[in-house]
Amino acid sequence: MRINIDLQNLLSAVDVPAQWVGLREVFEAETPRMIRDGVPVANMRYSTHGIMVEVLIDGQFGYYGTPDMTTAGIDRAAKKAFQQAQLASRSATFQFDESARPAHTGSYRSPFVKDRESLSAGKLNALLMDAYTHLKVSDKIVSATSLCQVIEIATKFISSNGSDISQDFLMLEFDLRATAADGTNQQTRSFGGMRGTCRQMGMEYFDSHEIMAQAGKIGEQALELLSADECPSGEMDVVIAPDQMMLQIHESIGHALEVDRILGDERNYAGWSFVKLEDFGKLQYGSKVMNVTFDPTVSSEFASYGFDDGGLKAEKEYLIRDGILLRGLGGRESQIRSGVPGVSNFRSSGWNRAPIDRMANINLEPGDSTFDELISQVEKGVYMESNRSWSIDDYRNKFQFGCEYGKLIENGKMTATVKNPNYRGISNPFWNSLKALGNTDTFGIFGTPNCGKGEPNQVIRVGHASPACLFENIQVFGGV
Amino acid sequence: MEKVFNQLSDFLFSLLQGEENLILSFSGENSQFIRFNHATVRQTGLVDDADLGLKFISNSRTCRGGFTVSGDFDVDTARGKAEIVRMREEAKEIPEDPFLVLPENSGSSHEIKTANGLPFENAVEALVPAMAGMDFVGIWANGRMFRGNANNLGQKHWFETESFCLDYSLVTPEHQMVKGSFAGSDWDQNEYDIYVQRSRKKLALMNRKPVKVETGEYRTWFESAAVADFLGMFSWNGISEASLRQGCSGFGRMRHDDVRLSPKFSVVEDFSPGFCPQFNSNGEVAPEQLTLIENGVLKNTLVSSRSAKEYGVESNFAEGGEYMRSPKMSSGSLNQKDVVGQLGKGLYLSNIHYLNWSDNAGGRITGLTRYACFWVENGEIVAPIETMRFDDSFYHFFGDQLVDVEDKASINPEVETYGGRSLGATTCPGILVDSFKLTL
């Protein structure tokens, strides 16, 4: 249940001699439902509601996240935040002023047709149960899961310098998963890998009958993997599907370009970056076919929004054009600290965390090859779909990814299925080995609901879109 | 906070009708967070947070709910009442749950740990001077944490503790790093100053020019913090009974093929130090000690009451996710002063980073070296190494390649703050491994 708050009234009641005060109210409700092995294992609804009070004094921001949304509670929080900022100001990393929180007004509403309540809990459970039945194509499917999560978020941000922004989101996460096993030979196939489907959309998604067809295909492919050969090892070409490309982009472009990382804020946790401030405008990040955008304006992509949590208006920007690094993922604070051109990406995970530089939608723009044209260019290689394992070093250099499903490519054609396809590389040479991009027919929009970063830690939702991509001479290998 | 929880619990239990059951789970904190970069304050603030989880059982159905507890009785009871009404309706239309876990009253508990911690307003003044002259980056988390559980049969648990943790890195101009984590309950300024000075001395070793190690297999020493990270992987598609049954556990070879790890490797779930509550979100109290792996043999998996019903085995009252909450690995015979000598030639890894299963069924884990990691020759540290990727199986490094185990186990406190500050710790020694595979 969401209670109504008059945020302007609360701001008026704040009595601290600060240079700037901001209030950011966040209500978020998550409704996950899951059927596993024919049994309901999750019918939940969790909500969180509170206000982040931020003040600026003597060049230092201080904050207080509180669920007490009374006038007295917010005034008390502001006074405590003021004290925290004042005590820290003599030891501040940077002396900010009001320009770090530009004044904007406006609103955003994510696109959807049918709201959460248009599909009852009973009907949604029945649909998930039906999907489970389609996943269970054989007794060798030892476990199968169908799940969805509806996310509703309402935020409001107002400030002493005139910001007044309201944003409302309805999002959906959906996944299907089947595990086939024969003794200790076990293989899992899912609907898009670890990230499944995640988009800004409503319950209209479930009107599609494709879900049952997909469920059947996933079950069959899990079985197919049980009897498949191991992925070969060696240096060869790879064609990577968009549902794996999304994580490749996330880990080896997105995180590497976060300006707060480059400035060292994350060195104790998420890490640093191989990118340096002086690389912007110069570094050949990838091959000339590579164009990457920060684009929170793509309709229905997971991390679209109108304004970031510092109040900056969201706009599309090229991060990499023709392979050259142009712009960093730095919000207003990082832009001021670094002098590097940035974007509107100052985001927080909720009312109890302060914003930091995050990804939003980071997309690799499509090229002009059909899928068959990509495959036809490969004499010996592997096609890989759907992430199942990921790891990268603290400088965002040495990565390793594992996928669920692979196909050998021999003499320009896809042939046998292979299990446990993995590849590894180093970010900058890897992106420079990008030979060709699929066209819009190969383009897929994905995202991740659980990107972790920051101290204190924050999980945030980001979107990634990509075509299928061909890379040359990559280290490929299989399982044990 | 306990009073808020008790009042809210009593109110919500009074709303139940007929055969309805309700289990409440509470988690809260009053925390200070200060983020440092370059030995200065990057961000500073306070967070009050509290959440109530509701597990409602009616009509052979299970529904869950949850909301933020504001501290205002009228607001919180209105939220709670709305949740009960919603779940009561939902329980009429969702499928029956054949593996219902009903509440029981098997006794209550009450544990409040008070401490003489560092007052929030003194933190910057107390912490910053010791950082002078260093590139210091990290996070200070400080304050009280609360966990509670109650059910409509009258069982009630309360756990309250106060602690601080300064988790940090020191960085050389060549970007080599040393990790530190100063954690406790009672603040001792002198102890803090000495701890940071020790890190400063370690940093001096990092000033040597890093060496590039080739890919291949190396004799390797893992410090306790690195071993704790490996053990952490057991909590993710690992030692869970449900994971094994559902075909996504790396322990399948131990369960099905009687594969054994080294006789020198033993792990127990041990609640006796009190790092975290012994009760789970169902209010069930786990045994104080549960042997998981004994001398290399899989003795027990973690079994929640739901898994127990589903798979017809006995519950050991694990949390629903069947992850380890307070693991302890047995120590061995290798003394810290003999480590480098016994290693002879190879890798000395203080910390590892970004682990993931690369082949879960084969027990293979990939990840990277991080922080104070060194090349050792002739029983002496030569220089730090450049970051390397590894990819090897725990069936090797906790199995046939395990040479020896340190004679002292260290406590590695849980420092994660996703959603809120975590409780718990991993207690483990370092290990010496004859062969460990670097791949990139």
Show which of A204, A227, A250 is a domain's final residue. Answer: A227
Percent of chain B with pLDDT over 90: 97
Structural contact between residues B286 and B314, judged by C-beta atoms closer than 8 angstroms = no
The nearest CA of chain A is from the CA of B305 a distance in Å of 13
Chain A contact probe: residue of B37, B44, B371 with most A CBs at under 10 A: B44
What average pLDDT does this structure show over B301-327?
A: 97
Given A227, A256, A272, the domain boundary residue is A227
- Confirm if A4 and A10 have CB atoms less than 8 A apart: no
Q: How many whole angstroms separate alpha carbon B252 and alpha carbon B242? A: 12
- For A62-110, what is each residue's pLDDT tens digit? 999 999 999 999 999 999 999 999 999 999 999 999 999 999 999 999 9
Selected for mutation to probe chain B from A84, A186, A427 (highest B CB count within 10 Å) is: A84
Over residues B121-162, the pLDDT tens digits come to: 999 999 999 999 999 999 999 999 999 999 999 999 999 999
In the numeric block, the tokens 């329980």 are attached to B91
Predicted complex ipTM? 0.96
A223 and A234 assigned to the same domain: no
Residue B167 contacts A, CB cutoff 8 Å: yes
Do A144 and A293 reside in the same domain of the chain?
no
- Nearest C-alpha in A relative to B359: A479
Q: Is the confidence at residue A194, as pLDDT, over 70?
A: no
Judged by CB atoms within 8 Å, which residues 385-404 of B form the interface with A?
A: 387-389, 391, 393
CA distance B30 to A415: 59
Whether A196 has a pLDDT exceeding 80, the answer reads no
- The DSSP string of B72-119 is -HHHHHHHHHHHHHHHHHHTTTSPP-TT---------EEEE-------
Across the interface, of A67, A179, A395, the residue whose CB is closest to B48 is A67
Q: In whole angstroms, what is the distance from residue A371 CA to residue A467 CA?
A: 9
Q: Which of A416, A294, A423 is nearest to A359 (CA)?
A: A294
Question: Which of B347, B295, B351, B330 has the alpha carbon at shortest distance from B406?
Answer: B330
Looking at the complex, does the CB of residue B353 fall below 8 Å from at least one CB of chain A? yes
- CATH code at position B135: 3.30.2290.10
CA–CA distance, A329 with A359 (Å, rounded to integer): 7
Domain boundary among A209, A227, A245: A227
Query: CB A459 to CB B418 under 8 A?
Result: yes
Domain identity same for A259 and A193: no
Q: Could you tell me the sign of the dihedral formed by the alpha carbons of A197, A201, A202, A204, in that order?
A: negative
pLDDT of res. A8:
96
Between chains, do A397 and B387 touch, taking CB under 8 Å as contact?
yes
Buried b (16+ CB within 10 A) or exposed e, A34-65: bbbbebbbbbbbbbbbbbbbbbbbbbbbbbbb
Cβ neighbours of B110 (radius 10 Å): 11
Residue A303 forms part of a structural domain: yes
Q: Tell whether A1 is covered by a domain.
A: no
> B254-290, pLDDT tens digit by residue?
999 999 999 999 999 999 999 999 999 999 999 999 9
* CA angle, B67 then A453 then B250, to 5°: 85
Sign of the alpha-carbon torsion through A252, A254, A255, A259: positive
Show which of residues 100-139 on chain B sit within 8 Å of chain A, judged by CB atoms.
120-121, 123-125, 128, 135, 137-139
Q: What does the alpha-carbon distance between residue B226 and residue B370 come to, in Å, rounded to a whole number?
A: 10
Residue of B nearest to A32 (CA): B64
Distance set, CA A315 to CA A269, A280, A357, A447 (Å): 29, 19, 15, 19
pLDDT at A161: 97
Residues B185 and B224 both lie in one domain: no
Residue B408, phi then psi, degrees to nearest 5: -135, 130
Nearest to B372 by CA among B197, B214, B224: B224
Q: Are residues B41 and B186 in the same domain?
A: yes
Q: Are B69 and B27 a contacting pair, CB within 8 Å?
A: no
Give A330-387 pLDDT, tens digit per residue.
Answer: 999 999 999 999 999 999 999 999 999 999 999 999 999 999 999 999 999 999 999 9
Examine the domain organization and report whether A199 and A235 are in the same domain: no
pLDDT mean over A247-275: 98
Task: Please tell me the predicted confidence (pLDDT) of residue A33.
Answer: 97
Statement to judge: residues B172 and B253 lie in one domain: no
**Domain limits at B226?**
216-438
State how far residue A370 is from chain B, nearest Cα, in angstroms: 31
Q: Which residues of chain A make contact with B418, given a CB cutoff of 8 A?
A: 452, 457-459
Quote helix, strand, coil % in chain A, to nearest 5.
25, 40, 35
Q: Which residues, 6+ apart, have CB-to-CB distance to A131 below 8 Å? A: A35, A146, A176, A211, A212, A215
Helix/strand/coil (H, E, C) string of B360-405?
CCCCEEEEEEEEEEEEEECCEEEEEECCCEEEEEHHHHHHHCEEEE
* Domain edge (last residue) among B158, B179, B204: B204
Beta bridge pairs of residue A52: A24, A65
Report the gap between the CA of A106 and the closest CA in chain B (Å): 27
A47 band by pLDDT with thresholds 50, 70 and 90? very high
Do the chains contact at B128 and A121, CB–CB below 8 Å? no
Q: Which domain holds residue A382?
A: 230-477
Size of interface A-B (CB pairs under 8 A): 268
User: Quick one: CA dihedral B179, B184, B187, B189, positive or negative?
Assistant: negative
Exposure of A258 in the CB half-sphere (CA atoms within 13 A): 29
Mapped onto helix, strand or coil, the DSSP state of residue A190 is: strand
Residue B102 in any domain: the answer is yes
Residues of A in contact with B70 (CB under 8 A): 49-50, 67-69
In a domain, B229, yes or no: yes
Distances, alpha carbon B345 to alpha carbons B102, B340, B378, B400, B438, in Å:
57, 8, 6, 19, 15
Please write the tens of the pLDDT for every residue from B375-420.
999 999 999 999 999 999 999 999 999 999 999 999 999 999 999 9
What's the pLDDT at B174? 86
Q: What's the pLDDT tens digit per position in B23-71?
A: 999 999 999 999 999 999 999 999 999 999 999 999 999 999 999 999 9
Same-domain pairing of A203 and A234: no
Q: Is B184 an interface residue toward A (CB < 8 Å)?
A: no
Q: Structure tokens of A279? A: 């690389």
Is A161 in contact with A18 (CB distance < 8 Å)? no
Chosen domain end from B204, B234, B258:
B204
The residue with tokens 């060049």 is A59
Residue A380 forms part of a structural domain? yes
**Residues of chain B with C-beta less than 8 angstroms from the C-beta of A82:** none
Provide the 8-state DSSP code for B340.
Answer: H
How many domains are contained in chain A? 2
DSSP string, A273-324: -S--GGGTTT-B-S-TT--EEE-TTSTT-TT--SB-TTSPBP--EEEEETTE
B73 interface with A at CB cutoff 8 Å: no
| Helix, strand, coil % over all residues of chain B, rounded to 5 | 25, 40, 35
Q: Is B420 helix (H, G, I), strand (E, B) or coil?
A: coil
Domain count of the fold of chain B: 2
Together in a domain, B277 and B179: no
Neighbours of A338 (CB within 10 A): 17
